Amino acid sequence: MSTASNMKSLLRGNVRQYGMVIALVTIIVFFQIQTDGVLLRPLNVTNLLTQNAAILILAIGMVMVIIARHIDLSVGSVAAFVGAVAAIMMTKWDMPWPIAVILCLALGAAIGAWHGFWVAYVGIPAFIVTLASMLLFRGLTLVVLDGATVGDLPGGFEAMGNGFLPEVGPDTDLANLTLVIAALLAAFLVFLEFRKRASAIRYNFEVLPLPLFYAKLAAIVAALFWFSYILAQYRGLPIVGLILFVLIGIYSFVMERTVVGRHIYAIGGNVDAATMSGVRTRRIDFLVMTNMGLLSALAGMVTAARLTAANPKAGTNFELDAIAAAFIGGAAVTGGVGTVVGAIIGGFVMGVLNNGMSLMGTSIDWQQAVKGLVLLAAVAFDVWNKKRTSVGGGAGSEDTTTTAPPPNDLVDEIEQASLPGTEQVAKT
């Protein structure tokens, strides 16, 4: 298992998985050096998180839309529109902010359902439907706001965008709660990794060699503690960061562990095969678009809260950043491939690039140009890597005769499993 060639092939197979993490780390190191350490100062890291939270929230929904082989161009406009409606509700109609938030989430879901209706039940490509909405809701935002910026939002609402977790416990100069959360999260992730590995071994699946596995665990824990330590030096975890991490957890769970997640990957991989396997494809399409609307609404409110005002230009180009994040994070244009965590990493790549170049004093025009090239490079790397790792293809790669025995622990269970069609196994 631990021979050098084995190791090499393992690493090669995992380049795609870890490639973006390595890219992100490289970019961080580069800007950390170029900015003389400003990049990773507590205040700047906090800003990095709050400034990009909306994009990252959108990226979660967007990667699901892309996995389901669609696209949503309207998220920026919808975010602006919902942010505007929220501002009007709270300032003009004097609605309590929690109620306004709930109503606006419902509004976002309704807009998403509108898209879902056209995409899933009428059969219009999502590109067209959401392009229409991009124009429609940008226009409606101007109508709702009457072309002006609406500010003076309630404090509780604004905390969604720029508030922090409360101080608890002894006075330590650090934000205690943030460190406690990080510790709990680290323990939980380590537990998950161990469980995953144990089951993979039980099923005779390929696993990382033990030293590499520990290295990976150490890296995860170290990154987490280091990140939380930096945040804790300023004011701790922003509330929007908490929202984001909870969303990442929920949606990763949905995509990896639930039937709905399975079905989203299935319709993206081969919609006809999914249909003929009994997947209710329209329902899934509808759900994915509706969810995107919901997350757009949240992103819109987070943006309004952070800027302490709703303005008609809010959310401009959000859709492009979210789409770029999903693709940089490994999603496939043709659908069926991608992960929530990948999209988040892709979002951070874009965010760090923005932030780092701003700190270096690079002008906005050059920032755009660089981001464009990075997107292209990331996807090109992915395509190149896919070609490189696929062996032969066609008749040459047809099955070898290697057949591993069934997993040891499960032999009895497998033999005793009474499944339809396997009764009275006749050996020929």
Partner 1 sequence: MKPILEMRSITKAFPGVIALDDVNLTVKTGDIHAICGENGAGKSTLMKVLSGVYPHGSYDGDIVFEGEVVAFKDIRQSESAGIVIIHQELALIPELSIAENIFLGNENASGGVISWDRTNRQAIELLARVGLAENPLTPVMHLGVGKQQLVEIAKALSKEVKLLILDEPTAALNDDDSQHLLGLLKGLQAKGITSIMISHKLNEIEQIADAITILRDGRTIETLAVAEDKVDEDRIIRGMVGRDLEHRFPEHEPEIGGVLLEVRDWSVMHPIDGSRAVIKDVDLTVNRGEIVGIAGLMGAGRTELARSIFGRSYGSHIEGQLILDGKELHLKSVHAAIEAGIAYLTEDRKALGLNLLDDIKRSVTAAGIERLRKGLTVDQREEVVVAERYRSSMNIKTPTVNEGVAKLSGGNQQKVVLSKWMYTDPQVLILDEPTRGIDVGAKYEIYGVIQRLAKQGRGIIVISSELPELLGLCDRIYTLAEGRITGELDRGEADQETLMRYMTTSTHGQEVGR
Q: Summarize as ranges the residues that interact with partner 1 (CB under 8 A).
A: 199, 203-206, 257-259, 262-263, 265-266, 269-270, 272-280, 336-337, 391-392, 394-404, 406-407, 410, 413-415, 417, 419-426, 428
Residues 28 and 34: their CA atoms lie apart, in Å, by: 10
Measured from the CB atom, the residue of 162 and 275 that comes closer to partner 1 is 275
Q: Which two tokens stand for residue 301?
A: 């409110």
Query: What's the closest the beta carbon of residue 390 comes to partner 1, in angstroms?
Result: 9
Q: How far is the CB of 359 from partner 1 (least distance, A)?
A: 40
In the chain, the amino acid numbered 268 is: G
Distance from C-alpha of 407 to C-alpha of 202, rounded to nearest angstrom? 6
Rounded to a whole number of angstroms, the minimum distance from the CB of residue 252 to partner 1 is 12
CA 35 to each of CA 2, 86, 263: distance values in angstroms, whole numbers, following the listed order: 41, 38, 45
Which CB atom, from 146 or from 415, has the smaller least distance to partner 1? 415
Residue 24 or 266 having the CB closest to partner 1: 266
Quote the least distance from Cβ 205 to partner 1, whole Å.
5
Q: How many CB atoms lie within 10 A of CB 334?
A: 10
Query: How far apart, in whole angstroms, are the C-alpha atoms of residue 146 and residue 377?
Result: 41
User: What is the residue type of 185?
Assistant: L
Beta carbon of residue 386, minimum distance to partner 1 (angstroms, whole number)? 11
Distance CA 155, CA 18 (A): 41
Q: Which is nearer to partner 1, 133 or 281 (CB)?
A: 281
Torsion-angle region of 425 (φ positive above 0: left; ψ -120 to 50: alpha; else: beta): beta
What's the burial of 31, exposed, middle or buried (CB within 10 Å: 0-12/13-18/19+)? Answer: buried
Q: Minimum Å distance from CB 34 to partner 1?
A: 39
Task: State in angstroms the smallest separation of the CB of 394 from partner 1.
Answer: 6
> Cα(226)–Cα(37) distance, rounded to whole angstroms?
15
**Nearest residue (CB) to partner 1, 173 versus 416:** 416
Instruction: Output the smallest distance, CB 333 to partner 1, in A.
Output: 13
Q: How far is the CB of 295 from partner 1 (least distance, A)?
A: 20
Give the 3-state secondary structure of residue 34: helix
Q: In this structure, is the dihedral angle defined by the CA atoms of residues 111, 117, 120 and 122, taken in order, positive or negative? A: negative
* 60 contacts 388 by C-beta, under 8 angstroms: no
Contacts of 129 (CB under 8 A, 6+ apart): 115, 118, 119
Task: Please report, for residues 19, 62, 174, the alpha-carbon distance to residue 282 in angstroms, rounded to integers and kept in the order given.
Answer: 34, 18, 50
When the beta carbons of 82 and 331 are compared against partner 1, the nearer one is 331
Give whichever of 276 and 365 is closer to partner 1, judged by the CB atom: 276
CB-wise, 3 or 428, nearer to partner 1? 428
Residue number with CB closer to partner 1 (194 or 366): 194
CB 371 within 8 A of CB 350: yes
Nearer to partner 1, 83 or 329 (CB): 329
CB-based contacts of 159: which residues, under 8 Å, 6+ apart? 239, 305
Query: Measured between alpha carbons, how far is 294 from 78 in angstroms, rounded to an integer?
Result: 10
What is the smallest separation between the CB atom of 196 and partner 1, expressed in angstroms?
10
Under DSSP, the state recorded for 246 is H
